[in-house]
Amino acid sequence: MQDLTTGSLTRHLLKTTSFMLVTMVFQTLYFLVDLYWVGRLGKEAVAAVGIAGNLMFISLAISQMLGVGTTTLVSHAVGRQDRPRALEIFNQSLVLSAVIGVLFFVLAMTLRPHYATVLSADTATAARASEYMLWFIPALSLQYVIVAMTGALRATGNFKPGMVVQVWTVILNMVLTPILIFGWMTGRPLGVAGAAIATLVAVIVSGVWLVFYFLPTTSYLKFKRDRWRPQPHIWTEMVKVGLPAGGEFALMAINLFVVYIVARPFGAAAQAGFGIGLRIVQAGFMPIVALGAAVAPVAGQNFGARKADRVRQTFTSGAFMAAIGMMMFQAICALAPARLVGFFSNDPRVIAEGAEYLRIVSWNFAPNGVILVASSMFQAMGNTMPSLLSSSVRLALFAVPAVMLSGMTGFELRWIWYLAVLAMIVQFAASLLFLRREFRVRLAFETVTAGA
């Protein structure tokens, strides 16, 4: 366990972000390598994986709920030096994540064929998407317990285990992907399903490996079977904190659903171009996701220790780093979008569609980076509802007008990319206003302590 309530905040953020960044870099490599090999199978395969990626956002919404609830409550307990409470929350998060994983698996597998058909531009893409999800859904279902374990470790300031496990299992995934897709050494090419099977194998190895970090007698957090009996009041606490944060990812999934529906008449090439562009954006945002993962426990421990100034300073440092990093990424996407997309596809229309998407939405990057840091601050203070509200504003400004515009004569996809930029700027302003209010209300204990 690492105490984050003393010492340089910038140093804490850089140190914890560096661990997460290594993880995110390898995760980024996985995204890009996976996309590279799938791209060799044609635009239908790329579009199919993109459609399955929308399902991943639905799963991420649930994972975010579990991860945020676990990290926030455990970090508060650690800040108060209340280990029994931390142990109770950790073990209950495991039980809750296992239950949700089973429910997700049953529901997703049942709806898989219909989901693929509704979002795909043609039958070939739908068949590839359904084939991919047959193996991808089990991988997503197993992720929930992993999220609970890594979230709890981050809350204690221990970022290294998640980094080590993630790096090596991502390497495993990258090695297995082309072998299974093209049948190298096996003589049995599995096509797009091979990419999903590689992910499933990596997830299984990751989960088993993480278990061993909780077994030593010196571990701050441990498995306690006598605490696995469901505790509804703890589940309620976790969901109360985590549900709004998970709702943000659910809104992202709705956004993506709208995009794929609107882009469907433009064919598989348009969907593939968007899918590649989205993967590139996700890859570029990994460092900021890492920063956000560092901000939450640092600010959370200081919030639990009632150190208001350090909570505010955590946001200032994090927001500055996020804005600078995203401006650099924006410059790359604005200046060479076609080259980025062309690395994953040689189809001229796919490249054109993806490049246009990147060039326009790159104006979102800096505001979105600050939004991610603000979201982590809401998590740290135990109230993620403001994040959900700002995301809801963004959805309302994007989804409804996008559907309306798609019915107009001469409609072009770039219209909704410009709309996305406008919606993001409004969300940015709303997030900062909400955060200012939360600082004033939730950090009031500074005044109480001073007057005591």
Token pair 């606490």 is at which residue?
237
> Rounded mean pLDDT of 282-299?
77
The whole-number pLDDT of residue 93 equals 92
Mean pLDDT of the chain: 83
The whole-number pLDDT of residue 449 equals 43
Report the distance separating Cα 27 and Cα 162, nearest Å.
Answer: 12
225 contact partners, CB below 8 Å, separation of at least 6: none
* Under 8 Å between Cβ of 194 and 177: yes
* Under 8 Å between Cβ of 321 and 11: no
- The answer to whether residue 287 scores a pLDDT higher than 80 is no
- The answer to whether residue 200 scores a pLDDT higher than 90 is yes
Q: Name the DSSP letter for residue 42.
A: -
- The token duo for 106 is 């049953």
Going by pLDDT thresholds of 50, 70 and 90, the confidence category of residue 289 is: confident
> Rounded mean pLDDT of 3-25?
64
The whole-number pLDDT of residue 91 equals 92
**Nearest CA-CA partner of 23 in 278, 215, 286:** 286
* Under 8 Å between Cβ of 318 and 295: yes
Residue of 36 and 414 predicted with greater confidence: 414
Domain boundaries, the chain: 9-443
Report the distance separating Cα 294 and Cα 19, nearest Å.
Answer: 9
Report the distance separating Cα 354 and Cα 364, nearest Å.
Answer: 16
Percent pLDDT > 70 in the chain is 89
Report the distance separating Cα 336 and Cα 154, nearest Å.
Answer: 36
Return the C-alpha torsion angle 43, 48, 52, 53, nearest 10.
10
Cα radius of gyration rounded to whole Å, the chain: 22
Report the distance separating Cα 280 and Cα 340, nearest Å.
Answer: 8
* Under 8 Å between Cβ of 1 and 81: no
* Under 8 Å between Cβ of 69 and 376: no
Going by pLDDT thresholds of 50, 70 and 90, the confidence category of residue 5 is: low
Secondary structure (3-state) at 344: coil
Residue of 316 and 23 predicted with greater confidence: 316
Range from 37-46, 289-298, 386-395 that averages highest in pLDDT: 386-395
